[in-house]
A and B are shown apart, each in its own frame.
Chain A
Amino acid sequence: MTDENIIPGAGFEEKFAEADGFSIRYMEAGSGPVIVSLHGANGLRLSRTHDMLAESHRVIVVEVPGFGNSQENTRAEDMKDLAVSILAFIEALSLETLNMMGMSFGGKLALTCAILKPEIMESIILIAPAAIRPDRTSENIPTHAQRAAALFAHPERQPSPNKLSAEIIAKQEDLVGRTMGPGRSEAFEAKLAELQVPVLALFGTEDILIPPEIGKYYREILPNCFLMIVYDAAHAIDADRPEAVTELIQDFVVRRGDFIVREVDDTIHP
C-alpha cells in the first residue's frame, strides 16, 4: 500500500449512501477506529496518507454533495447546511463515534460538524484548515486554478491529477463561494472557543494558501488544540509528507493530547 508506484486510493472502494436528500458518494478502505475525511475546495483527492491510515483504521472519504459528478447542490447556503448533510451521512452509516479529518475547506466543514454534534467526535484533525483566514474576505477566495497550483511542494512526486471539466469546476466554485463564509467570524469563533474536542491542526511550511503563521489563531481560539508544523509540505500536506502526517494522526487518534509525551523506545542497543 505504501509503494510509491501505486496510485493513491487504489485500495479504496467507491460507495454511495442516501442522506439528507442526496446520494452521497464516498470511498472506503480498512477496518478499525473510524476516520471520516472531508476534502478541500477542489474536490475529493486521495493521498498516500489515506492509504496508510487504512492499514489500521476504517477510513471513509466523503464527497461533499455538490462536488465532483454529484448533482449540483443549490440548496446549501452556508457551511452549516453542508455540515447537516455530512452529519446525516454519518447517521446513515450508523457511525456512533468517529475521528474527523478535514482539509482546507473541509477543515472548516469538520469544525462546523463538531460544533453541531461534539458528542460523536473523538478527535478532529485539521490539515491546512481554511476556517480562519485573517487576510481574506469571502470575496477573494483563491480560484480553483490558483489552489491547484499551490497544492504540492513536490508536484513531481505526485500522480498526474484528474482534470475536472469546466462544468464541474463552475459548479464547485459556486458552492464554495456560497458556503465558505468570511475569513474571520466572531460568532463562529465564539463557538470554536467552546469546543472541547481534541484538535490536531497541521500546517505546511511551504503552504502559500494557508501559511503556517495562521496556526496560532487555532491554538488561541480552540481550548484543546495541538499545533504541528509539517516541514517541506505545501497545502496538500497529506500528499507531500504522507509518512510524517500518518504517524501524527495515528498517534493523535489513539493518545490525543498525551501524544506530546514520547512513547517510542529510543534505545539503540540493549
Chain B
Amino acid sequence: MGPTSGGGWPVPADDFSPELAQASYEITLNHAEIADQLGWNWVSVAEHHYAPFSISPNPMVMAAAFSQRVKTAKIALMGPDIPILNPVRVAEEFAMLDTLTGGRIVAGLMRGTPNEYITYNINPNESRDRFEESLKLIKMVWTEKQPFGWQGRYFQFRTISIWPRPVQDPHPPLFMSGSSMESGKFAADNKVGIGFAVTTLEAASKAAAYYREEAGKTGWEPTKDNVIFRMPFYLADTDDQAVEDLKVAGAAKFKGIGTLNPDMMRVLRQTKYFSGNENRHREVQQAATELNDRVKLGQLLIGSPETVIKQIEKIRDDLGPGILDLTNAGEMGDKTIKSMELMATKVLPHIKDR
C-alpha cells in the first residue's frame, strides 16, 4: 500500500460535477456578499488541493472574485501555502488584490496541511525553512522599491521589482499559524500576527501566551488584533433549534477536512513538517467530534444569540483574540443566511470592542 492508495486524499474526480462546483462557488460568493451587507468585518478564503472540501486551490482567484462583490469588508486570505508556491508570484497577486480592493486585503501566509506538500512535489521536511524564507522574501518584495535579487536557500531570483505595489503601507497585515512553539517564536520575532484553526481553545490560549511572552522579549507588545481564532458557528432563535438544525444537516460531527489518508499520514508524520509533541496532541484533540465536546473545547459556536455571546466571552477571556474568523457550520440555505444575520445583528454589537 502506497501513501496515496489508502483512501481519503487525493480524491479521485470520477464523481466531479461541474454544475455542483459552479453552484458551490455561487453560494460562497453570495455568502460573502451577504456578510458584507450585514456589516461583517471580513470574509476569508483558504487554500486546499485535490479534494472536494473547500474547492479553492488558489485563494487568490477566489479573493479576486470576492473583490467584485464585497464592497466594505476586508478580504482575508488564510492561505496561500507559501512553502509550495513562488513567493514573488504570491507577493504580486496580493498586491493586485490590495489594488482591486483599495487596501482591504489581509495576508495570512500558511504552511498548509501536510498533504499539500505532495500536491506540488515539495519535500515536507523543508516546510518550516521554506516558509520562513518565503515570508521574509514576500515582505521585501512588497517594501523594496529598487530592483533587487534574492539569493536564498530555497528561492533564487536575480531581479525583482513588482507592479502594482500593495495599497496598504507598508504592506497588508500579516498572519501565520501560531500553533507550534517554533511558529509562535518566529511570528513574535518578526512581528507577524497569529491565527489558530482546527485546534482547541486551551491549546490556542497556551500558544498565544507563549507568543506574547516571546514578543515581549523583543520589546514588542502584540495587540488583540494580532490574534485570530477560526471556528465554525451556527445560530438559531433557540439553543434546541440550533442543535436540531445542525444534526439534520449532518454537520454536528467534525468530519475532518478530507486530508487524513492514513497511509499518507504514516509517511508524513515521520517528516520535519511536524515539530513535536504539540502536533500529535492536536490530532488527538481533533478526534473529539461530538457536538457537546466540540463546544467545550472551543471548536464550535452554537445556539441562540445569548448562548453564543457567552461562548464567545469564554474565548475572549481565555485566549483574547481580537478577530474571530467564523465559518458557517454546514450549508442549510436560508437557515445558514439567518444564522449569519443573527450573528451580525444580535451578537456582533455585544462583542465588538470588548
Contacts and interface: CB of A to CB of B under 8 A. Distances in A.
Interface residues of B, number: 17
A215 B153 contact: no
B148 interface: yes
B163 interface: no
B133 A260 contact: no
Contact of A260 (B140, B144, B151, B159): B159
Contacts of A229: 140, 148-151
Contacts of B354: none
Interface string B140-160: 100011111111110100110
Contact of A227 (B148, B152, B153): B148
A226 B161 CA distance: 13
Contacts of A215: 144, 146, 148
B137 interface: yes
Nearest to A230: B151
Contacts of A230: 151
Nearest to A231: B152
A234 to B, nearest CB: 14
Contact of B151 (A220, A248, A261): A248
B152 A228 contact: no
Contact of B149 (A220, A226, A241): A226
Contacts, number: 57
Contacts of B155: 231
Contacts of B152: 231-232, 244
A12 B133 CA distance: 34
B136 interface: yes
Interface in B291-327: none
Question: Which of B136, B147, B151, B155 counts the most A-chain CB atoms under 10 A from its CB?
Answer: B151
Interface string A21-38: 000000000000000000
Interface residues of A, number: 24
B140 A228 contact: no
B137 A231 contact: yes
Interface string A230-270: 11100000000100110110000000000111100000000
A212 interface: yes
A231 B136 contact: yes
Contact of B158 (A219, A220, A244, A262): A262
Interface string B175-194: 00000000000000000000
A228 B150 contact: yes
A205 interface: yes
Contacts of B148: 215, 219, 227-229
Which of A229, A230, A261 gathers most chain B CB within 10 Å? A229
A130 B152 CA distance: 22
A221 to B, nearest CB: 11
A132 to B, nearest CB: 13
Nearest to A216: B146
Nearest to B129: A232
Interface in B110-167: 133, 136-137, 140, 144-153, 155, 158-159
B149 A227 contact: yes
Given A216-B144, A259-B158, A260-B159, A228 B153 contact: no
Contacts of A220: 146
A219 B153 contact: no
A245 B136 CA distance: 19
A238 to B, nearest CB: 12
A259 B150 CA distance: 13
B341 to A, nearest CB: 48
Given A219-B148, A231-B151, A260-B158, 8 more contacts: A202-B151, A227-B147, A228-B150, A231-B155, A232-B133, A232-B153, A244-B151, A260-B149
18 contacts: A205-B136, A215-B146, A220-B146, A226-B158, A228-B150, A228-B151, A228-B158, A229-B140, A230-B151, A231-B137, A231-B150, A231-B152, A232-B133, A241-B151, A245-B151, A259-B158, A260-B149, A260-B158
Interface of B: 133, 136-137, 140, 144-153, 155, 158-159
Interface of A: 202, 205, 212-213, 215-216, 219-220, 226-232, 241, 244-245, 247-248, 259-262
